[in-house]
């Protein structure tokens, strides 16, 4: 039997993969990818800056390729987008990136284009291995072959312990902290809308025991909102009629810790995306030495591993066009690692028991 015009994998040729469900659980905050992107990336400054910082750093990393044309393909802009930046952002947010290999009239790869990952689904063979990917835009479906030495699409994905076919991004792990941070921002906005300070109570003390009539209550409320609400009316004197007095209300100890709660949520968002909080302007030790170490930690622990994963996957997908295709980051040209390289060169140069060839090999210099 053929599946989409292909023979199923031979029995025992490779192990069958489980077909884990890709459904989304329901929680107290948005769980679908589109909702998380709107709230987390589009509506949260911390998450957006963290993703941009990592993605732009990956795109700016100096790339070394086995062929100049291979490096030009990877570092080119297609359709107005920088390929490496787009792929890195998709890996962080969605956990999957799909790069379409566009060919010219002679069948040679001419450009690389990053597809929207939420529009892509995998087609599996009888053993559960992906043989193609379907890209959907509205009612249109495009089938992209993923097998053979010259595939039409390259799938890059992060590690997912519960699924064999789709990766797991960082946005889902940050969803709870994003919800808390966004709620804190709305709280602060409400404080500004209410005279930029905690609300008080307007107390009516009738002399004859009569309560306010509905018309009097409505007029008093409209006058308060028009004359004393909003940040522009902060500190404006209040003129009260007979029987009315203003009773200010202060924040409780729990409310006073609301600022700390927002800061903790912001640090958790930064942690989810692998960015030191100091680089996002969050409270902490902001000395030059700590900032320098934070920048180095971002490079070593987040940017370089992600860049190497992306470059290795692209090199594997392009091996059918470029023999012995290799892509890597040139560590000697990464500014954040300059001090590490200086220490390595100094220690290797001082090792008198090493030959010149051994020293060149240790520092990664070819003769």
Reported as a single tens digit per residue, the pLDDT across 262-315 is 888 999 999 999 999 989 988 766 665 788 889 999 999 999 999 999 999 999
Q: Does 238 or 128 have the greater pLDDT score?
A: 128
Quick one: pLDDT at residue 8? 43
Classify burial at 228, counting beta carbons within 10 Å of its beta carbon; exposed 0-12, middle 13-18, buried 19 or more. middle
Structure tokens at 154: 């390259």
State mean pLDDT over 175-201. 75
Residue 114, strand partner residues: 99
pTM over 0.95: no
CA separation for the pair 260, 262 (Å, rounded): 5
Residue 247 pLDDT level (bands cut at 50, 70, 90): low
Quick one: pLDDT at residue 25? 42
State mean pLDDT over 136-160. 92
Quick one: pLDDT at residue 27? 43
Domain boundaries, the chain: 1-9+27-171+273-329, 200-248, 337-367
Q: Does 102 or 362 have the greater pLDDT score?
A: 102
Q: Does 134 or 221 have the greater pLDDT score?
A: 134
Q: Does 341 or 69 have the greater pLDDT score?
A: 69
Q: State CA 62 to chain mean position distance.
A: 22
Sequence-separated (6 or more) residues with CB below 8 Å from residue 234: 195, 196, 197
Q: Does 134 or 17 have the greater pLDDT score?
A: 134
> What's the chain's average pLDDT?
80
Is the predicted pLDDT of residue 87 greater than 50, yes or no?
yes
Structure tokens at 131: 């043989």
């Amino acid at each position: 039997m053929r599946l989409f015009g292909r023979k199923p994998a031979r029995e025992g040729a490779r192990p069958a993969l489980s077909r884990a469900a890709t459904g989304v659980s329901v929680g107290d905050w948005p769980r679908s990818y589109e909702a998380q992107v709107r709230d987390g990336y589009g509506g949260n400054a911390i998450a957006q800056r963290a993703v941009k910082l990592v993605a732009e750093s990956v795109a700016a990393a100096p790339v070394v390729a086995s062929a100049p044309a291979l490096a030009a393909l990877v570092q080119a802009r297609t359709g107005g987008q920088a390929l490496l930046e787009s792929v890195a952002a998709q890996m962080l947010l969605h956990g999957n990136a799909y790069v379409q290999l566009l060919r010219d009239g002679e069948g040679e790869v001419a450009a690389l284009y990053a597809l929207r990952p939420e529009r892509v689904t995998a087609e599996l063979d009888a053993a559960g291995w992906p043989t193609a990917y379907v890209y959907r835009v509205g009612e249109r479906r495009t089938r992209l072959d993923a097998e053979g030495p010259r595939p039409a699409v390259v799938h890059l994905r992060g590690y997912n312990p519960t699924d064999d076919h789709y990766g797991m991004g960082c946005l889902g792990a940050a969803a709870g902290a994003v919800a808390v941070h966004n709620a804190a921002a709305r709280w602060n906005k409400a404080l500004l809308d209410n005279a930029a300070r905690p609300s008080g109570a307007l107390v009516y003390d009738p002399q004859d025991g009569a309560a306010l009539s509905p018309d009097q209550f409505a007029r008093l409320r409209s006058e308060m909102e028009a004359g004393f609400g909003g940040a522009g009316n902060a500190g404006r004197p209040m003129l009260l009629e007979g029987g009315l007095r203003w009773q200010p209300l202060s924040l409780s100890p729990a409310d006073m810790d609301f600022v700390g709660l927002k800061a903790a949520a912001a640090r958790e968002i930064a942690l989810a995306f692998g960015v030191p909080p100091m680089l996002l302007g969050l409270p902490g030790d902001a000395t030059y030495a700590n900032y320098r170490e934070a920048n180095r930690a971002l490079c070593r622990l987040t940017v370089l591993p992600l860049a190497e994963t992306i470059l290795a996957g692209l090199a594997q997908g392009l091996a059918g066009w470029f023999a012995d295709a290799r892509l890597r980051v040139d560590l000697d040209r990464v500014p954040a690692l300059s001090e590490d390289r200086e220490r390595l060169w100094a220690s290797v140069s001082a090792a008198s028991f090493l030959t010149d060839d051994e020293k060149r090999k240790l520092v990664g210099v070819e003769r």
